[in-house]
Amino acid sequence: MIRKATNRDVQFILSKAKDAANEGTLSKKAISQEQAVQMALFTLDQNGYYLVYEHVNREITGWILLGENVDYITNSPHAFIYELYVLPEYRNLGIAKQLLQAAVTDSKYRGFKEIRLNVFASNFAKEIYHRIGFQDLQTIMYKKL
């Protein structure tokens, strides 16, 4: 079952913030628990919210953090996915896909015409995003100096 997170759910999610942040960025420099919590709290303070996937045993097995962002070129608002995470022991069960579909449905209900997210090129979740209809919008490139 997918539902909006309660305060208790958010506390559980924040306890896993470091894992979610480090997996999502695939960074060689680890993000600390404190940094990860601050990033999540910033989004929550900007009217962001979590949808959670609750397993039949009432355990939270995954979540998605949604909010609003604005296109810096067109100045038009859009829904934005800030985080998607499924606990490792519950992966490959379709939970991420269901959370993404719930995010799309919820964003349409809230009146958005578009939903976006950022994903690192090497993140395995990129394949899931493509499968449910997300398209590449831009590429950020870098060169070590």
In a domain, 87, yes or no: yes
* Residue 97, pLDDT score: 95
Look at residue 94 and tell me if it is in a domain: yes
Residue 142 in domain = no
pLDDT digits (tens, 9 = 90+) for 126-137: 888 999 999 988
Q: Which domain holds residue 47?
A: 2-131
Contact, 54 vs 95, CB < 8 A? no
Residue 33 identity (one-letter amino acid): Q
Q: Residue 81: in which H helix or E strand, if any?
A: strand 77-86
Q: What is the pLDDT of residues 59-101, one digit of tens each?
A: 999 999 999 999 999 999 999 999 999 999 999 999 999 999 9
pTM of the model: 0.88
Residue 139 is assigned to a structural domain of this protein = no
**CA distances from residue 73 to 76, 101, 112 in whole angstroms, order as listed:** 8, 27, 17
Structurally, the chain folds into a number of domains equal to 1
> What's 110's domain CATH number?
3.40.630.30
Residue 140 counted as domain residue: no
The whole-angstrom separation of Cα 44 and Cα 52 is: 14
Query: Model confidence at 145, in pLDDT bands (50, 70, 90)?
Result: very high
Confirm whether 85 is domain-assigned. Answer: yes
Q: Is the residue at 15 inside a domain?
A: yes
Q: Rounded to whole angstroms, how far apart are CA atoms 76 and 79?
A: 10
Distance CA 10, CA 13 (A): 5
**What gap in Å lies between CA 114 and CA 45, rounded to an integer?**
22
Residue 138 to residues 27, 68, 113, 120, 135, Cα–Cα distance (Å): 20, 19, 18, 12, 9
Report how far residue 47's alpha carbon sits from residue 21's, in angstroms, rounded to the nearest whole number. 20
Q: Is residue 34 part of a domain?
A: yes
